[in-house]
A and B are shown apart, each in its own frame.
Chain A
Amino acid sequence: MRMELIQPFINSADAVLAQGLESPISIENLSMEQEAYRRKGIAAEVCLMGEIEGRIIFDVDLGAAVQLASRLANVAVSETDEELIREAVCELANQIIGNSITTLNDQGFHFHVRPPTLHTSEQGSKSSEDTEALVMCFNTSSGNVFMNVALRYHGPAYERAVAAG
């Protein structure tokens, strides 16, 4: 997976999480994975179709999800407020992924995005050679946030990528 596909997600997560939490965040770890994704907390999944295809899983430790939901909703949220926590994670996924998609579209990639859905299974589908997944771990003041990005070029974008080597 090319850096031009990844960088917008890093930038967007950095900006949206820092604004939501009103504190700086850092990337703790970046790794490529071909194994099935194992969910770590509350997760939302977004699918892309078009010149870039694939899926992104946004996964937040329960403790961090509670803190994020509290900050975003401006009320004290407890671990039992499951619906509110899930909603908060989906909305954060929507904002981070939406902002990334904005950058990629403005770079000339055309594709469509579906609304985020909760990723409830413990394990995601395996990535393959052409949809290898990059897992990013962001360290926030409230805990860890993971983003698993498995995307590939499709159609004209694929031909452009092949031509560019």
Chain B
Amino acid sequence: MEKFAPVKRSEDGQPVRYLIVDDSVFARKNLARMVESFGGQVVGEAGDGISAISEYERLTPDIVLMDITMPQMEGIEAAEKIVRDHPSARIVMVSSVGYQENIVAALQRGARHFVQKPVKPEVLYEVIKYVMRDDGTTVHGAGAGAGA
């Protein structure tokens, strides 16, 4: 995986904290590897929408990467519930099902962005920088380190 300039939190220079939500352990591991290569820290994982809500409450991550098609509660519904209680939540939908209707529904319910699977690291990296905006800063001249 290529190396990316680390994206840190502007307020304290600490790594961006991620909650990764996907019913596939494999997908979660892959996303974790990617965000670590961006200098981020995975603070929690969840395998469905209901666990995502409770993990968000417990961890208050900087960014949630949320799958859509999941058992028990789907990602769009979980995103809506999280944003309703935490309007500043930054949720990026990450799904292989990326038709227009789905994307619009996700954005209308509070998601900040949408990334289609298979995820390209360089695409996710740009989306993370965009979603963090002024709350994130890119540290140039320092490799994130996790690139293998």
Contact = CB atoms under 8 A, between A and B. Distances in A.
B33 A90 contact: no
Interface stretch (B10-18, B50-58, B84-92, B93-101): B93-101
Contacts of B102: 102, 105
A94 B98 contact: no
B124 to A, nearest CB: 14
B33 A94 contact: no
Interface residues of B, number: 24
Interface string A95-119: 1111101110110000001110000
Interface in B85-128: 95-102, 116-118
B96 A97 contact: yes
Main secondary structure of the interface of B (DSSP, over half): loop
Interface string B24-36: 1111011001000
B117 A90 contact: no
B97 A115 contact: no
Interface of B: 1, 23-27, 29-30, 33, 69-71, 95-102, 116-118, 148
Interface of A: 16, 19-20, 69, 72-74, 84, 87-88, 90-91, 94-99, 101-103, 105-106, 113-115
